[in-house]
Structure 1
Amino acid sequence: MAQALDRPRCVATLNDNDTVEVSVDGVVTPLNSMDDAIAQLTETARILGRPVKVVAVDPSSANEFETYLVVGPDGEVSTDATPARLPRTGRRGSRAVKPGELVPAESAPESLLSESESSSHKKAASSSSTIVAPTLKNASQSRPVQAKSMPSSAPVPQPSDTTVLDIDSAPSFIATDSSLDEAPATHGWRGMLNRIGLHLTPGPGEVGEREDLAAVSRHWIGSRTIAVVNQKGGANKTPTVALLAAQFARHGGAGVLAWDNNEAMGSLGWRTDGAGHDSTALDLLHHADHFLTAEAKAAELAAFVHHQAYDAYDVLRSDESPSNTHEITGVEVDALHRVAEKYYRLVIMDSGNSTRGENWAHMIAHADQIIIATTTESDKAQGGVNALKALHAGGPHARELARNAVVVISELMPSHSTKAQAITAEYAPFVREVAIVPFDPHLVQGRIHHRQLRPATRRAWLHAAALVSQGF
């Protein structure tokens, strides 16, 4: 195969929405996918009649920001087999180490590089398939991309004909599970390269996502109840309930109920799918005693709750009849909660705007955790603060819930990132965690479906759910 030259300079940048921008000597072409990017670079190589070097950039990765590739005229992709191109250090005269300059680790001189420069050399070495000579200082350090769990090399005592070892020293033949950062990468350029036969570990962004998935997927002993509150209407309580329920159900399995505990007419039923009937919390209330008996079956609940086929959780709607004047009482909340905690491992309760009603007080009494939902509007943020103040005035249990609360801030507009950061700074001293969810047009109105969210929004809701899970 012909040699790949440094010109033209080809850069492929992976965006958050999985689209790719390919730049060939500064001429940028936006493409829909990594496959399209490889096809574009293959065509460039075909026109030149030789392979081209490509700098694959993943801005979401804190480490190994750049991956060096070679794309051939036949579409073959490999890692760059030339010496690593070191990142710019701001000093003139920086250059890559040539193969002839490689020296054994045991005879290498003490590194003359500064600590930051030495770090840059090590990062570049791990990004290329060529081994750059380690210095004496870092020769003993392992390479994170190649690191694998290896059995201990310590000698095993050999029993004599008359010696029987203690059974506790018997070996284990069951392989230990690999850590979250050892399993092959599936995202970004590193994931794409793994799909063509390499074995690269994930970057920090993907490791963080795996940690959040593990947190949301875990099961705890006993049922848990979350209350989502804000004294102001339109503060995104209902979308917060639906999307947290979707995260816990999709990743942790069934047994998640989203319950609209509005004292009158709530909107959770408007924003979620129906199940072919009109049953509400009032209908279930009439059968609560039956569901607490040993003869009751979980499948019978399908007549009263509305299963979300794609997001795997159930919805218990509030009464939506304009002619009905009944308001849910505290005793009725207790009865419904006894049913909910018997059949569901996680109950997420939506709420009205009043913190003075019986149903609100009894919801708080059953809650294991509080979520303050707010948008980036100042009155909605103030409504969340007022809810925290009501909790602090509600006795020891409510005060502890307030201190352990998670605030979820949903950006009302694409330009509200700065506002969200400012609100975060104001809330942070008074609660356990604050999460920010970017603007997403899918959440403005209509039914809420996890699969229709933008990738960045799905990632943000996963992180918010992981912060909630840490409170259990």
Structure 2
Amino acid sequence: MATAFPRPLYTATIQEDDTVQVTVDGLVDEYASMNDAVAAIGKKANALRRPVKLTAIDPRSEQPETYFIVDTDGSVDLDPDPPAKTRAKRSRRSKSTEQGVTLTDIIDDDANDPADAPEAVESDSNDHEEDLDPMPARNKRVPASGSTPAVRQAVTPAVTPKRTKTSESPSSPPVEESSFTSSESEPPAELGFAGWWNRTFKTALAPSAHERRIRADDRDQEDQRRRDRSTRKRIQRPLDSHHTIAVVQLKGGGGKTTMAYHLAATYGRVRGGNVLAIEINENQGTLAERSHHAGHERTTLDLIRNLDSLNRRISDLIRYIRPQGDDRFHVLAAPPEGTDRSRVDGSSVTSSHELLQALYGIMIMDTGNSAQAPTWKAAVDVSDALVFVAHNREDDFNLLKATVKAVREAGYGDKITKSVLAVINTATDNQDRIHRLTDYAQLEGITGTIVIPFEPTLQEGEPFDYDRLQPETVDAYHEAVALLTDQL
């Protein structure tokens, strides 16, 4: 390599976001990685037709400055003639074997080869061995940086070098394993300055804290994907027959309709079609208003009135059901307030259920608010599993207890063991109450408790839109449906 003159001197500073700022003669350029920066400096050296000096600065490193020569072809060597103040630091550092070996020590280590001539360094110390600062007569060469893969991040440039000598001098004791060297259980750095250094000089620098965080995030994401796959398999598990799930809570506005819709949508999206959400309510419900509209206004009452004329074919139900688009399920809504509901009783619920279960694999029933209503008792009776629902509020907690008591008193206590409690969280996020709700559910024998995160998009009574849910909310509904499917 030709001689590198002191000027121009390039300084590459590793930023907090792992980009690299290169400064020369007061001008600053920014690069995505050290690899890109060195490639650009190599082009500048080529234009000058001689190597240039480069100081790499990593503020997060215990040795913040490392010195290089960048050749005209973009290859990189350690600078054989770093600033004198750095040599003095090296001399003092060599006293202790307890400190990690840094990149500058690599220069010293190569220089201690018997084939190389040491260079004396002036010092005020009386210890002659400490005054010696050997410099290498040769340096490692690497290919042009254009052939080096791009990297994304800067890391600490400190490493235990691989020794090639057959003997050690008294002033250079054996080096113990350093925290800067990658362990057997942890792969060497691949990103940033240390990743670039590892590829360039064939070393094994350990990853920085930032790269470890990236790796941890990658592991967390892979774990999440693995959990998602497992949850989906549980939801998609083959079932031997039709199953009905009733959503119960003896409180108006307790979240039953919201829960029924999103449970059905989750089944529809993950498991597939043949899913129905039906509103069995002695009062006016809101499922018709908040679900996708259809080209008709027919309701559960119209279906009941025409049961005798219907066959067990989906085509017969087209006039009554409301397809929910991408959510891939159907809605059968309750009649509006003021309608004559005299024919909506327990026996009609049982009869309609008998017809519908032949056409749908999963049916979600949105029930009413009175445990004394025949429709409520019939819905619980034909169900294979229950979903108790409560907002994270004290009044909902009290009515949840009343609902569980009503199910027991109606003679369906055995279904509680095949039930799930879904707690819809509120903006206040009262964790103490969530713990009390969870403890209560466990005490009552409810299979499990799922907390549905607070969802701002559902607070204004607007139509349901599954695609607007937060990812955490979707995950919670997936887990709720998987837990339900486990009971079927």
1:428 equivalenced with 2:418 (yes/no): no
1:124 equivalenced with 2:139 (yes/no): no
Partner of 1:262: 281
User: How far apart in 2 are the matches of 1:364 and 1:327?
Assistant: 19
Cα gap change, 1:201 to 1:425, in 2 (>3 Å)? closer
User: How far apart in 1 are the matches of 2:239 and 2:415?
Assistant: 19
- Alignment check: 8 A CA contact 2:36 2:150 kept: no
DSSP-derived class of the 2:325 partner? coil
Q: CA offsets, 1:221-268, max 9 Å, x none?
A: 110000000111221111000000000000110010001010232221
DSSP-derived class of the 1:403 partner? helix
Cα gap change, 1:377 to 1:416, in 2 (>3 Å)? same
**Match for 2:458: what amino acid?**
L
- Alignment check: 8 A CA contact 2:33 2:151 kept: no
User: How far apart in 1 are the matches of 2:221 and 2:217?
Assistant: 11
Cα gap change, 1:334 to 1:301, in 2 (>3 Å)? same
DSSP-derived class of the 1:409 partner? strand
DSSP-derived class of the 1:408 partner? strand
Q: CA offsets, 1:267-302, max 9 Å, x none?
A: 2112211111001011111232333x4xx5312312
Cα gap change, 1:406 to 1:123, in 2 (>3 Å)? farther
1:67-106 matches, within 5 Å, as 98=160, 100=162
- Once the 2 structures are TM-superposed, how far is the Cα of residue 405 of structure 1 from its aligned partner? 1.3
Cα gap change, 1:220 to 1:234, in 2 (>3 Å)? same
User: How far apart in 2 are the matches of 1:73 and 1:401?
Assistant: 68
- Once the 2 structures are TM-superposed, how far is the Cα of residue 9 of structure 1 from its aligned partner? 3.5
1:293-442 matches, within 5 Å, as 293=311, 296-326=312-342, 328-395=344-411, 398-413=412-427, 415-430=429-444, 431-442=446-457
Cα gap change, 1:388 to 1:73, in 2 (>3 Å)? farther
Cα gap change, 1:307 to 1:80, in 2 (>3 Å)? same
**RMSD, matched Cα:** 4.2
Partner of 1:245: 264
DSSP-derived class of the 1:310 partner? helix
Cα gap change, 1:7 to 1:401, in 2 (>3 Å)? same
- Once the 2 structures are TM-superposed, how far is the Cα of residue 192 of structure 1 from its aligned partner? 11
User: How far apart in 2 are the matches of 1:377 and 1:41?
Assistant: 53
- Alignment check: 8 A CA contact 1:273 1:306 kept: yes
Aligned length: 334
- Alignment check: 8 A CA contact 2:392 2:430 kept: yes
Q: TM-score of the superposition, structure 1-length normalised?
A: 0.61
DSSP-derived class of the 2:32 partner? helix
User: How far apart in 2 are the matches of 1:5 and 1:307?
Assistant: 61
Partner of 1:33: none
User: How far apart in 2 are the matches of 1:334 and 1:387?
Assistant: 21
User: How far apart in 2 are the matches of 1:346 and 1:52?
Assistant: 63
Q: Which stretch of the first structure deviates more once superposed, 419-428 or 300-309?
A: 419-428
1:146-161 matches, within 5 Å, as none
Higher relative CO (Cα under 8 Å, sequence separation at least 6) belongs to: 1
Unaligned 5+ runs, structure 1: 12-22, 26-39, 56-71, 86-94, 103-111, 131-187, 194-199
- Alignment check: 8 A CA contact 2:392 2:429 kept: no
- Alignment check: 8 A CA contact 1:311 1:449 kept: no
Partner of 2:97: none
DSSP-derived class of the 2:390 partner? strand
1:465 equivalenced with 2:481 (yes/no): yes
**Match for 2:308: what amino acid?**
D
User: How far apart in 2 are the matches of 1:127 and 1:427?
Assistant: 48
**Match for 1:298: what amino acid?**
I
DSSP-derived class of the 2:487 partner? coil
User: How far apart in 2 are the matches of 1:126 and 1:315?
Assistant: 56
Partner of 1:42: 32
User: How far apart in 2 are the matches of 1:203 and 1:446?
Assistant: 35
User: How far apart in 1 are the matches of 2:188 and 2:448?
Assistant: 35
Q: CA offsets, 1:326-347, max 9 Å, x none?
A: 3621110011101110100000
1:7-86 matches, within 5 Å, as 7-10=14-17, 42=32
